[in-house]
Amino acid sequence: MRIFSGIQPTGSLHIGNYFGAIKQWLDLQDENDCVFCIVDLHAITVPYDPEKLQKLILEKAIVYLAAGLDPEKVIIFAQSKVKEHSELCWLLNTVTPLGELYRMTQFKDKAKKNEKAGLLNYPVLMAADILLYDTETVPVGEDQKQHVEIARDIARKFNRSFGETFVLPKVKLPKYGARVMSIADPKKKMSKSDPDEKSRISLFDSPEEIRKKLKSAITDTGKTIKYDELKKPGISNLLTIYSLLAEKEIKDVEKEMKGKSYKAFKEEVAELTVLKLEPFRKKRDELSGREVYVREILRRGEEKARVLAESKMDDVRKKMGLR
């Protein structure tokens, strides 16, 4: 099966990104043709620092590798290096109804602060990413579900107008961890762009930072450690995080933690997080000194992606009467 997914290079990746996306990728990489992209063209739809962009891209490639993606098996590359993404985005714009773009939740949220055409067209570029590689499955977190569905709609519309061209992609969400919540405000999702650093656990946070953030994690006024998203969003989120890290069922974690105070439970979550993130930090430190090697992986990935993208675009241009 062809798998495609991507992550924006800006901001530091957190455990939500890991459980929502990267962990699924690791499970898929052995049996499928996987393409994992660092979507720099998406990242520039909000204010950013051009001086830092290349460094951030390299850092994300390091995260992919530190998490365990095998560059011998999967394609890893930066989106802007394969020009076909932008070209296909433009062509798909011609079949995408504007109303559908205005209705996207993420656009409505982000446009409050920054109303730009790039934000509105964001899902069309994402559709281009996906459709360019005949993608069947898109493993993402819950917040991207709507975008994958619109990509499917766009593919269907294109096929109807110009003949069978694109595979209709399907979204794949993880069973647990599709929406990890902020630990500072468990009614919001954990997000790279949240100005409150304490709201997320980044993959490379130091043990001290992890302990400090979890110590101040928001819970509730009760005493029982029980999963109840509505009444106990904070505790439920911590139970989810613990169960994902420990690879245990939530029910079993509830039993294990029975009778403990919230403070003691938060300490348990912190210690497990420190332990489980340690290999990331180690691998990252090791790879940070091997910049040439990481750049070479991106370059090779880009070449492989380009071959696939060019061949698809040949077909698209022909179908649209552009050659």
Q: How far is the CB of 133 from ligand TYM (least distance, A)?
A: 10
Q: How far is the CB of 313 from ligand TYM (least distance, A)?
A: 17
Q: Which stretch of DSSP H or E encloses residue 2? A: strand 2-7
Q: What share of the chain is helix, strand, coil (3-state, %, to 5)?
A: 60, 10, 35
In terms of CB distance, is 260 or 304 closer to ligand TYM?
304
Q: What is the DSSP string of 12-61?
A: --BHHHIIIIIHHHHHHTTTSEEEEEE-HHHHTTS---HHHHHHHHHHHH
189, 198, 312, 319: which one is catalytic?
Answer: 189
Q: How far is the CB of 119 from ligand TYM (least distance, A)?
A: 11
Q: Among 194, 199, 204, 231, which Cα is nearest to 217's?
A: 199
Q: How far is the CB of 215 from ligand TYM (least distance, A)?
A: 21
The tokens for 11 are 């901001």
CA angle 310, 295, 121 (to 5 degrees): 50
How far apart (Å, rounded) are the C-alpha atoms in residues 83 and 81?
Answer: 6
145, 172, 192, 226: which one is catalytic?
Answer: 192
Q: How far is the CB of 285 from ligand TYM (least distance, A)?
A: 23
**Residue ranges that bind ligand TYM, judged by CB under 6 A:** 4-8, 16-17, 19-21, 39, 42, 126, 129-130, 138, 140-141, 143-144, 147, 177-180, 189-190
60, 110, 266, 312: which one is catalytic?
Answer: 110
Q: Is 293 exposed, middle or buried (0-12, 13-18, 19+ CB in 10 A)?
A: exposed
The tokens for 91 are 């062509």
Helix, strand, or coil (residue 79): helix
In terms of CB distance, is 85 or 232 closer to ligand TYM?
85
In terms of CB distance, is 117 or 292 closer to ligand TYM?
117
How far apart (Å, rounded) are the C-alpha atoms in residues 19 and 174?
Answer: 8
189 is a catalytic site residue: yes
110 is a catalytic site residue: yes
Q: Which residue is nearest to ligand TYM (CB)?
A: 20
In terms of CB distance, is 144 or 273 closer to ligand TYM?
144
In terms of CB distance, is 42 or 319 closer to ligand TYM?
42
How far apart (Å, rounded) are the C-alpha atoms in residues 243 and 65?
Answer: 24
What are the residues whose beta carbons fall under 8 Å from the beta carbon of 282, sequence distance 6 or more? Answer: none
Q: How far is the CB of 264 from ligand TYM (least distance, A)?
A: 25
For tokens 């991507």, the residue is 6
157 is a catalytic site residue: no
In terms of CB distance, is 43 or 287 closer to ligand TYM?
43
For tokens 């009467």, the residue is 321
Which positions are catalytic?
Answer: 110, 189, 192
